[in-house]
C-alpha cells in the first residue's frame, strides 16, 4: 500500500541520496543494528558466565566493536564518500574479531597453550561477520572484510605454527603409524593442524569474494530497475507534457485519445449533439478596442467557456473567430450528451451575464442541435485538425443565427428540448423555416 507520508524508516534516510544511496544507508543501519544485537548478547553471556578478570579481555573487544560501530554510523550519515575510512574500520573489526577468537584469553587464569583455540570451529564466526557486512550493500566492504579476516586468521595461525613447542602431522613416523600414535598426536595440547588452517583461510577468503559478488550482482540489478523506473517516469512526464501542451491546441480529450491511439484517430459516425456559440456585436467591439485588448478579451472568454464545455463532457472542435464549435458524445461517448450540452449552454449564458472580460460585457448566442455526424481528423499529412461534419453541424450554426430574429439567446430543436426537460427549464418559441430542413422546425429556448 503506497502512502504519500514517508514511513519511519524512510524518514531516517538522508534526503540528498539517490535511491541506491538510500539502500546503502538502510543496509548500513541493518548491519549496525545486527552489530548492536551481537554486542548485547555477547555482553550478557560474558557477564553471566565469566568472572573478572577473565571477562575484561572480551569486554575490551566489545568496547572497540561498539566504538567502531558508532564511527561507522556517523560516517554513513555525514561522510558516505569516505570509502577508505569505512574499509579501514571493517579491516580493524575483522582483525580484532580474529584475534579475540584465535588467541587465548590472557586474563582467564588458565594456562592454555596458543594451539588450543584452533581446536574449535571459531573461524565460522568470521564467515558470519563477512555475511553481515554484505548487508551494507557495498561490494568493496564485503571484499575488504573477507581479505582482512582471511589475512588475520592466517597471520595468527602462522604465529602459532612458528611456536617452538608446536607439533603437526610431520611428527608422525614416516615409516608408518598406527591408530594409537595418531590419537596420541591429536590429543597433544600443542598439536596444530596446519592443513585445516589452510582450508579455513580459503573458506574465509572465498566467503568474502562470494558475498561481494552477490552484492555487486544485486546492485547491478537494482541499477537496471532504477534506470527502467526513471525511463518510465520520464515517459510518463513526457506524455503528460505532450498532453498538456497538445491540449492547448486541441481538446484534452482529443489529445488523450491521440496519445492512446499513437497518433491515429479513427473516424466515426454517430449520434451527437452540437453546440455553436457566437458573440453578439463582436464587429462593433473590435472597432472600439485595440487588437491587443481584443485578443486578450477573446482569450479570457475562450478559456472560461472552454472550461465550462469541458466540464460538461464536451469537446471544442474549433475556435472560429469569435465563435465556438463544440460537440458532445464524440470522440468520448456520453449517454447523457443532450442534457450535458443544454447545461453547458445555460452555463455559458450565465458566464457572460455575471462576468466582465477586460472591462467589457459580452453577449453570446447559442444554437443546439442533435443528429448524426461524422467526426475525425482532416488536413494534410503533416497538419491535422479534429472536427465534425454533417448537416447536424450546419443546422446548429443556423439556429445560432436565428436567435437574431427570435430575440433569444439559445435555440434548440424539439428533440433536444424533450430530452433536456429534466436538466433545464425550456420554453416553446415557435415553428421556423431553417435552411437545410424541408419542413418547419419547432424551436425552444432556455428560461
Assigned fold of 264-446: Alpha-Beta Plaits (3.30.70)
- Give the bridge partners for 411, in sequence order: 367
pLDDT score recorded for residue 2: 35
pLDDT score recorded for residue 3: 39
Sign of CA dihedral 278, 279, 283, 287: negative
pLDDT score recorded for residue 9: 43
Q: What is the pLDDT of residues 255-275, one digit of tens each?
A: 666 666 665 566 778 899 999
pLDDT score recorded for residue 384: 64
pLDDT score recorded for residue 364: 95
pTM score: 0.49
The alpha carbon torsion through 261, 265, 267, 270 (nearest 10 deg) reads: 80
Tell me if the bond preceding 296 is cis, omega within 30° of 0. no
CA distance 266 to 282: 36
pLDDT score recorded for residue 108: 64
**366: number of Cβ within 10 Å:** 28
The Cβ-side half-sphere exposure at 112, using a 13 Å CA radius, reads: 15
Running along the chain, 447 residues long, what does each successive block of 10 average in pLDDT?
40 50 68 69 65 71 75 74 82 84 70 76 83 81 90 89 80 66 74 85 92 86 80 78 59 63 68 94 89 92 91 87 91 88 93 92 94 78 73 92 93 90 86 84 89
pLDDT score recorded for residue 5: 38
Contact 80, 141 (CB under 8 A): no
Tell me if the bond preceding 331 is cis, omega within 30° of 0. yes
Amino acid at each position: 500500500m503506497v502512502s504519500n507520508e514517508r514511513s519511519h524508516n524512510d524518514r531516517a534516510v538522508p534526503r540528498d541520496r539517490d535511491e541506491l544511496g538510500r539502500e546503502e544507508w538502510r543496509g548500513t543501519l541493518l548491519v549496525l543494528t545486527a552489530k548492536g544485537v551481537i554486542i548485547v548478547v555477547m555482553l550478557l553471556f560474558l557477564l553471566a558466565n565469566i568472572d573478572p578478570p577473565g571477562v575484561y579481555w572480551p569486554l575490551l573487544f566489545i568496547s572497540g566493536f561498539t566504538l567502531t560501530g558508532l564511527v561507522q554510523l556517523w560516517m554513513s550519515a555525514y561522510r558516505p564518500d569516505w570509502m577508505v575510512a569505512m574499509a579501514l574500520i571493517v579491516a580493524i573489526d575483522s582483525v580484532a574479531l580474529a584475534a579475540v577468537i584465535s588467541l587465548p584469553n590472557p586474563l582467564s587464569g588458565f594456562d592454555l597453550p596458543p594451539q588450543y583455540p584452533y581446536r574449535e570451529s571459531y573461524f565460522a564466526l568470521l564467515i558470519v561477520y563477512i555475511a553481515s557486512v554484505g548487508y551494507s550493500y557495498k561490494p568493496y566492504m564485503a571484499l575488504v572484510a573477507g581479505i582482512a579476516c582471511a589475512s588475520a586468521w592466517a597471520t595468527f595461525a602462522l604465529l602459532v605454527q612458528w611456536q617452538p613447542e608446536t607439533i603437526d602431522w610431520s611428527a608422525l613416523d614416516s615409516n608408518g603409524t598406527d591408530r594409537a600414535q595418531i590419537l596420541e598426536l591429536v590429543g597433544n595440547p600443542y598439536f596444530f593442524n596446519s592443513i585445516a588452517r589452510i582450508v579455513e583461510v580459503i573458506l574465509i577468503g572465498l566467503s568474502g569474494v562470494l558475498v561481494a559478488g552477490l552484492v555487486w550482482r544485486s546492485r547491478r540489478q537494482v541499477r537496471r530497475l532504477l534506470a527502467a523506473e526513471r525511463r518510465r517516469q520520464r515517459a510518463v512526464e513526457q506524455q503528460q507534457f505532450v498532453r498538456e501542451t497538445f491540449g492547448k491546441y486541441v481538446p484534452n480529450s482529443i489529445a488523450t485519445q491521440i496519445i492512446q491511439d499513437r497518433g491515429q484517430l479513427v473516424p466515426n459516425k454517430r449520434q451527437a449533439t452540437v453546440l455553436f456559440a457566437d458573440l453578439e456585436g463582436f464587429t462593433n467591439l473590435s472597432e472600439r478596442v485595440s487588437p491587443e485588448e481584443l485578443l486578450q478579451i477573446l482569450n479570457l472568454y475562450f478559456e472560461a467557456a472552454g472550461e465550462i464545455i469541458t466540464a460538461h463532457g464536451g469537446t471544442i472542435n474549433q475556435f472560429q473567430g469569435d465563435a465556438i464549435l463544440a460537440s458532445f458524445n464524440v470522440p468520448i461517448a456520453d449517454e447523457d450528451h443532450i442534457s450535458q450540452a443544454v447545461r453547458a449552454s445555460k452555463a455559458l449564458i450565465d458566464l457572460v451575464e455575471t462576468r466582465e472580460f477586460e472591462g467589457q460585457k459580452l453577449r453570446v448566442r447559442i444554437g443546439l442541435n442533435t443528429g448524426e455526424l461524422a467526426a475525425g481528423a482532416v488536413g494534410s499529412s503533416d497538419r491535422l485538425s479534429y472536427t465534425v461534419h454533417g448537416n447536424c453541424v450546419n443546422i446548429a450554426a443556423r439556429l445560432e443565427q436565428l436567435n437574431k430574429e427570435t430575440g433569444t439567446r439559445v435555440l434548440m430543436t424539439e428533440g433536444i428540448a424533450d430530452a433536456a426537460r429534466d436538466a433545464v427549464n425550456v420554453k416553446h418559441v415557435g415553428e421556423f423555416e431553417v435552411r437545410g430542413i424541408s419542413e418547419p422546425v419547432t424551436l425552444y429556448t432556455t428560461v
